[in-house]
């Protein structure tokens, strides 16, 4: 009982600390989104959201690979003081980055042959996103975790806000930002975030890193890269699929309203994000000790906290969404209130299932995660094809909720079936009878 009480308190404390760290990035991202939505107008903001979704999907697999591999391999080599291997790891990731950008340039270059129009800035945005991910991952690999997370998650929205303020030039009531200007401020924000990361990286760079030359070993890259790419791109497409599908089915104004509603509902998952960061080292330690009872307990405590925070937030958004959305984003986004209730319910389901994806990853269940993502993609695409055509943004919200529910419940079922571990809040009793 003493063990359980102590572990619970430590977990709650760790979640609180990570909420503070994440609390820097989330309000900045939310505020930058609000400012863009207000100044760009619903149609331009919809086009901006579609462009950002395309760029995010194009980067998702490489970003995930860089984030996992660079931090893992660099931290391991640094702990063993293998400087030559560290330079080799950085070189391999840099080459991967060049290949990814070159491939993106080739694909974008041939798109006009198939009558697919792409903004000229798309490749620039993709390239800057990938470079920013590498800079942030390098900082985290060098054990400057807070700086790396800030560069990756908070710097871009911070500089985006500053760039918007500069463009608006104090004319808050009547200023407008065109689609082109919105893209320009995004490029500027990414570039400034990279510069900030480069300055921090120079300070964090080990002085004697080059003393033993260069040692290239690509075995770790070839072993892990395919699975990480599949998981990264699958998850990226799954998250962005409703907006991507709406790009060819509805007017930009509908996408703008959907993005606003999705941004509001996404605030509900803040506690889940913080819990994932807090839980990682703790459940890894319990797994190493083969303490599955303690492993399950921490998962259920986390799920209980996440769910208890999510419910009141969702109720506020559902009950007062029609007042909150026009107050925050402007009157032209009133349509978003109709989507908000469905998307809030989707986030409640996500919170109810807790950090189940993290748990499966820790227990070697990456293949089960891929199956869940594939199931979510199929359900979201099939439902979206019919519902978006019939109901527009509301249909997209229902498709996203169904896909997210299938993803989470499949993972919960898989974890319970294979490991007899239940990742649900303590309000749900576990049947231990055989």
Which pLDDT score is estimated for 84? 81
**Span between the terminal Cα atoms of the chain, in Å:** 26
Specify the DSSP class assigned to residue 260.
Answer: H
d(C-alpha 42, C-alpha 177), whole Å: 11
Contacts of 428 (CB under 8 A, 6+ apart): 422
Structure tokens, 237: 């497409």
Contacts of 150 (CB under 8 A, 6+ apart): 24, 25
Contacts of 136 (CB under 8 A, 6+ apart): 67, 148, 149, 151, 152, 153, 197
Which pLDDT score is estimated for 284? 63
Structure tokens, 169: 């030039």
25-56 pLDDT tens trace: 888 999 999 999 999 999 999 999 999 999 99
Which pLDDT score is estimated for 107? 82
- Segments of the chain scoring below 50 in pLDDT: 1-4, 433-434
Which pLDDT score is estimated for 12? 57
Distance from CA of residue 300 to its chain's centroid? 23
CA angle, 391 then 36 then 351, to 5°: 60
d(C-alpha 53, C-alpha 43), whole Å: 15
d(C-alpha 3, C-alpha 6), whole Å: 5
Specify the DSSP class assigned to residue 143.
Answer: T
Contacts of 225 (CB under 8 A, 6+ apart): 65, 69, 96
Which pLDDT score is estimated for 280? 62
Which pLDDT score is estimated for 72? 79
Under a CB-based contact definition with an 8 Å cutoff, are residues 351 and 362 in contact? no
d(C-alpha 44, C-alpha 276), whole Å: 34
Which pLDDT score is estimated for 356? 87
Which pLDDT score is estimated for 144? 78
Which residue carries 């995930």 as its tokens? 64
> CB-side exposure of 82: number of CA atoms within 13 Å?
15
Which pLDDT score is estimated for 410? 94
Measured torsion, CA atoms of residues 60, 61, 62, 65, in degrees rounded to the nearest 10: 120
d(C-alpha 54, C-alpha 57), whole Å: 5
Candidates 231, 205, 220; CA nearest to 83 is: 205
Which pLDDT score is estimated for 403? 95
CA distances from 127 to 59, 184, 204, 256 (A): 9, 14, 23, 25
d(C-alpha 333, C-alpha 257), whole Å: 6
d(C-alpha 280, C-alpha 286), whole Å: 10
Candidates 395, 365, 141, 117; CA nearest to 249 is: 395
CA angle, 19 then 27 then 343, to 5°: 90
Task: List % helix, strand, coil for the chain (3-state, nearest 5).
Answer: 85, 0, 15
Structure tokens, 195: 């510069």
Structure tokens, 214: 């260069």
Q: Report helix angle 252-266 to 336-352, nearest 10.
A: 40
Structure tokens, 39: 């100044």
pTM of the model: 0.84
The ranges assigned to domains in the chain are 28-217, 245-434
Under a CB-based contact definition with an 8 Å cutoff, are residues 167 and 185 in contact? yes
Contacts of 15 (CB under 8 A, 6+ apart): 271, 274, 275, 278, 302, 305
Burial-class residue 199 by CB neighbours within 10 Å (0-12, 13-18, 19+).
exposed
């Amino acid at each position: 009982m003493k063990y359980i009480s102590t572990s619970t308190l430590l977990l709650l404390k760790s979640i609180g600390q990570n909420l503070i760290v994440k609390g820097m990035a989330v309000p900045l991202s939310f505020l930058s989104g609000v400012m863009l939505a207000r100044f760009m107008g619903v149609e331009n903001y919809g086009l901006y959201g579609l462009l950002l979704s395309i760029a995010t999907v194009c980067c998702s697999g490489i970003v995930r690979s860089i984030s996992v591999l660079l931090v893992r391999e660099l931290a391991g080599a640094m702990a063993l003081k293998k400087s030559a291997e560290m330079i080799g790891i950085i070189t391999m990731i840099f080459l991967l980055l060049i290949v990814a950008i070159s491939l993106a340039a080739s694909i974008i270059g041939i798109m006009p042959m198939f009558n697919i129009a792409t903004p000229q800035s798309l490749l620039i945005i993709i390239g800057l996103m990938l470079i920013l991910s590498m800079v942030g991952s390098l900082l985290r690999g060098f054990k400057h975790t807070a700086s790396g997370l800030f560069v990756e998650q908070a710097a871009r929205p911070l500089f985006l806000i500053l760039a918007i303020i500069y463009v608006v030039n104090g004319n808050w009531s009547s200023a407008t930002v065109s689609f082109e200007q919105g893209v320009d401020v995004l490029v500027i924000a990414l570039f400034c975030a990279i510069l900030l990361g480069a300055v921090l990286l120079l300070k964090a760079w080990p002085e004697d890193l080059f003393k033993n030359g260069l040692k290239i070993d690509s075995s770790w890259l070839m072993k892990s890269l395919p699975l990480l790419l599949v998981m990264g791109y699958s998850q990226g497409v799954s998250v962005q699929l409703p907006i991507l599908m709406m790009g060819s089915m509805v007017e930009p104004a509908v996408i703008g309203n959907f993005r606003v509603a999705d941004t509001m509902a996404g605030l509900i998952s803040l506690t889940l994000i913080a819990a994932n960061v807090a839980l990682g080292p703790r459940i890894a330690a319990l797994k190493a000790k083969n303490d599955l009872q303690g492993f399950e307990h921490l998962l259920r405590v986390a799920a209980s906290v996440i769910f208890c925070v999510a419910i009141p937030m969702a109720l506020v958004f559902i009950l007062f969404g029609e007042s909150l959305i026009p107050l925050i984003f402007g009157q032209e986004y009133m349509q978003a209130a109709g989507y908000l209730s469905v998307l809030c319910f989707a986030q409640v389901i996500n919170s109810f299932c807790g950090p189940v994806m993290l748990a499966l990853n820790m227990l070697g269940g990456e293949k089960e995660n891929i199956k869940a993502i594939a199931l979510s993609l199929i359900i979201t695409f099939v439902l979206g094809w019919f519902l978006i055509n019939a109901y527009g943004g509301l249909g997209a919200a229902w498709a996203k909720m169904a896909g997210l529910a299938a993803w989470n419940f499949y993972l919960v079922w898989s974890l319970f079936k294979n490991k007899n571990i239940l990742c649900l809040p303590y309000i749900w009793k576990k049947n231990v009878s055989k």
